[in-house]
Structure formats: C-alpha cells, structure tokens
C-alpha cells in the first residue's frame, strides 16, 4: 500500500498545543481533515493544514495513488529544541526565556 508523507520542522509553537489540533484529524479522510482545520481558530490548525496540503500534493505526484481514497494514517507532533532568549532584569541580571519549537510529520494512505 502506497503512502505519501510530509513534514515540517522547527515550527515556532509548542508541541503540546499543536498536538491538541493533530488529535482532531487523526484517522479522518483528507476532505474531513481539511474542513476541520479550516474551521479551527488555533494557530496550529493553519500550520498543520499547510503540512497536510503538502502531503496531498506529494500523493498526487505518485501516479498509483487514488486521491479520493486518502486518509490521515499517522500524524505525529514532537518537540524540537528550545530557542533561548534572555530578558534583562534588575541589578544587571538576565532571566532565560525558552521559546518552544515543534516537528510535525503526516503520513497519508489509501483506505
């Protein structure tokens, strides 16, 4: 069975927040998944929609895949490295600010 994959790395958002969005489309067909993501207000929905569209475009490049029968077989959101920033504080100190990143991977397959 053929699969189409896409991934986005070092996305500037928390993996925990992106995972909440990813859980809503796992196992759904691509039309349902697109509709769900377009109607969600979260920042992660737009990012995951872009990755999903990339996976669909990758599936179209494979001639043996039937686009109408695709579903989200696997969607994984892992944490990436933190971007470290420092905020100046009183008396010459600096406190670290950790800005999280995430890695998103989507696998589409035919039913």
pLDDT tens profile 44-66: 999 999 999 999 999 999 888 88
Q: Is the pLDDT of residue 101 over 80?
A: yes
What six digits make up the tokens of 98? 């950790």
**Rounded Cα distance, 82 and 73, in Å:** 28
Closest CA to 51 of 100, 14, 105: 105
For residue 46, give every residue at least 6 positions away whose Cβ sits within 8 Å of its Cβ, in sequence order, or none.
37
CATH class of 3-110: alpha beta
pLDDT tens profile 9-18: 999 999 999 9
């Amino acid at each position: 069975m053929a699969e189409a994959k896409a991934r986005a790395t070092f996305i500037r958002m928390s993996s925990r927040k992106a995972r909440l969005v990813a859980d809503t489309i796992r196992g759904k067909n691509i039309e349902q998944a697109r509709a769900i993501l377009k109607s969600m207000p979260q920042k992660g929905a737009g990012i995951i929609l872009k990755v999903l569209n990339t996976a669909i475009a990758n599936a179209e490049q494979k001639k043996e895949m039937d686009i109408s029968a695709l579903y989200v077989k696997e969607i994984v959101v892992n944490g990436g490295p933190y971007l470290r920033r420092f905020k100046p504080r009183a008396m010459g100190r600096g406190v670290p600010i950790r800005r999280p990143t995430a890695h998103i991977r989507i696998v589409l397959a035919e039913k």
